[in-house]
Structure 1
């Protein structure tokens, strides 16, 4: 069984210090809403989030009543501590793990959540096989980093720990080639308020009327063009892809 290398564990161990709580909570709100939307048809009772970070998505699951019992696994000790300190009413257990081996028995959960994690994972298929071992349904969200010439911006993405690039098509191929059936999916743009927070508070760029209007106009143009040009164009413009997959009866695996 693969395990996360020491340098990766060290990089994330002290990652969740509380300095960026507002930023993470803002991003987590749309992620939680996307995940709840694609899972609407299954109404899971027992939910595990793998790579739960500081628990910001779990916070919204708890607040919105998603899942009767919530569980969390996180590679970073600082993240585990942060999640515990939240004292979420539906959270039953939080554990640290090695990045690949899930310390629960087969079919322990109705649903496993993997939100903005897969782009950080060295051995994606190893982790996916563990997810489908412990749950019938898997909900995944990934950022859509891929654009033409993305290799010219390698340092930018590596600084965020993004070692994998995805498009909706590539994620669907990955999941289906691992014996998972696509049940529901959606693409989404980064919300306007999140873009503004990043620009003006995180990146500390000057806040101007022109910049505000540019952010709002770009968002609305992409939404409009996607609505009239169809799915391919919508996926091209999107910033995130959220998908619900179900373990197939044959549990096909391609190695």
Structure 2
């Protein structure tokens, strides 16, 4: 299985210095979610699949999350930016084809895959590779679902989001591939992540905050429509079974 050429070309030059600060800010919260879900578990070595420009790894390194960090990434510009950061404890930095992870079975204690699955053409193929090389996994995905999500096709494709999830749908995907869900978390974006999109729209910002208040008041609703969903899993040795 190979990445489509048009997608490969798009991502090869995806990362530039103009987007670094915003990505770094978002990565801080992604790293905090990873740390929260994995507390009380020690990981000897860690691989991030789809590391982008390395901001999550940078935050994890600063937090002394692991002394053996590694990553694979499809974007050549991303790889160059990761290298330029000179992140302590980051060892392997590998350009890969989007599906084949070049490590032996059970090589890593933990694989991190944060805001990647929504971009992947063949989700189950990548999930099986992640499962093959790791004992534990942490996934985070944006929750883009709405009942009229098809009306926003151009919007989400502009972000490269070709898969749409709810927390329940993502758990279904993982459990059907025999990942055991250990802990999970539904999150809303922090104010500093939202404000750049509403610089000249105070009413829009207040409406978002009202929506967040409603979701926080009713946990059942938050479990359906958070901004992001993060989950810690462990693999089991079963194969996909249907019928």
- TM-score bin, normalised by smaller chain: over 0.9
Alignment partner, residue 239 of structure 2: 252
- For 1:89-115, what per-residue CA distance to the aligned partner results, in whole angstroms no more than 9, with x for missing partners? 110110100000001111111000100
Give the Cα–Cα distance (whole angstroms) in 2 for the partners of residues 11 and 100 of structure 1: 17
Give the Cα–Cα distance (whole angstroms) in 2 for the partners of residues 5 and 74 of structure 1: 15
Report the number of matched residues. 242
Instruction: Tell me how large the CA RMSD over aligned residues is.
Output: 1.5
Give the Cα–Cα distance (whole angstroms) in 1 for the partners of residues 234 and 87 of structure 2: 28
Give the Cα–Cα distance (whole angstroms) in 2 for the partners of residues 214 and 239 of structure 1: 15
1:220 matches 2:219: no
Alignment partner, residue 203 of structure 1: none
Show structure 1 runs of 5+ residues with no match.
201-205, 227-231
Q: What are the within-5 Å matches in structure 2 for residues 187-206 of structure 1?
A: 187-200=186-199, 206=200
Give the Cα–Cα distance (whole angstroms) in 1 for the partners of residues 126 and 181 of structure 2: 18
How far apart are 1:41 and its partner, in Å?
3.3
Do the aligned residues in 1 keep the contact of 2:142 with 2:228 (CA within 8 Å)?
yes
Change (3 A) 1:219 1:233: closer
Give the Cα–Cα distance (whole angstroms) in 1 for the partners of residues 235 and 205 of structure 2: 44
Alignment partner, residue 162 of structure 1: 161
**SS of equivalent to 2:221:** helix
How far apart are 1:199 and its partner, in Å?
2.6
Alignment partner, residue 177 of structure 2: 178
Do the aligned residues in 2 keep the contact of 1:23 with 1:197 (CA within 8 Å)?
no
Alignment partner, residue 241 of structure 1: 229
Show structure 2 runs of 5+ residues with no match.
none
How far apart are 1:179 and its partner, in Å?
1.2
- For 1:106-152, what per-residue CA distance to the aligned partner results, in whole angstroms no more than 9, with x for missing partners? 11110001000000001111001100111011110000000111001
Do the aligned residues in 1 keep the contact of 2:186 with 2:226 (CA within 8 Å)?
yes
- For 1:176-205, what per-residue CA distance to the aligned partner results, in whole angstroms no more than 9, with x for missing partners? 1111110110100011111012332xxxxx
Do the aligned residues in 1 keep the contact of 2:71 with 2:93 (CA within 8 Å)?
yes
- For 1:66-97, what per-residue CA distance to the aligned partner results, in whole angstroms no more than 9, with x for missing partners? 12210011100000000011101110110100
**SS of equivalent to 1:252:** coil
Do the aligned residues in 2 keep the contact of 1:52 with 1:72 (CA within 8 Å)?
yes
Give the Cα–Cα distance (whole angstroms) in 2 for the partners of residues 151 and 221 of structure 1: 25
